Amino acid sequence: MKDLGEGRQGSKLIPILIIIILLLVLIVVYILVLQPRFNAYVIEKQVNAQQQVVGALIQSINQNGFVQITDAQGNTIVLVPLEEEEVSQMKGQPRQGTNSVQ
């Protein structure tokens, strides 16, 4: 009679082990295949968004002559195009600005 009871427990154990093995295989596949592809996709989309934002800023600067950006704290940055001569003249001068960051 003991043999029949042990056989039933063994038959219950096999499907549980198969489920555990399948879960482990799925976890390994996710870690090695799916997660790197997903991360690469996210990084690609972030780079594309950054390129579009910079392109839009440059286009707006070319059309309007400047772009004003305000952050969440109310600090304002004004972007203007400079010629290379102006940049080399400014290198020797102290920075001038109306807003100071504390």
Backbone angles phi, psi at 96, to 5 degrees: -120, 140
Please report the pLDDT score of residue 96 as a whole number: 60
Distance from C-alpha of 94 to C-alpha of 87, rounded to nearest angstrom: 13
Residue 6 has a pLDDT of 56
User: Would you state the pLDDT for residue 1?
Assistant: 44
What percent of the chain is modeled with pLDDT above 90? 67
**Extended beta strands in 32-71, E state:** 67-70
pLDDT at residue 98 greater than cutoff 60: no
Name 77's bridge partners: 69
pLDDT (0 to 100) of residue 86: 77
Which pLDDT value is given to residue 87? Answer: 75
Q: What is the pLDDT of residue 100?
A: 45
Q: Which residues of 22-49 are buried (b: 16+ CB within 10 A; e: fewer)?
A: eeeeeeeeeeeeeeeeeeeeeeeeeeee
pLDDT of residue 101: 45
Q: Looking at per-residue confidence, does 43 or 89 come out higher?
A: 43
Over range 50-56, report the average pLDDT. 96
pTM of the model: 0.57
Which amino acid appears at position 78 of this protein? V
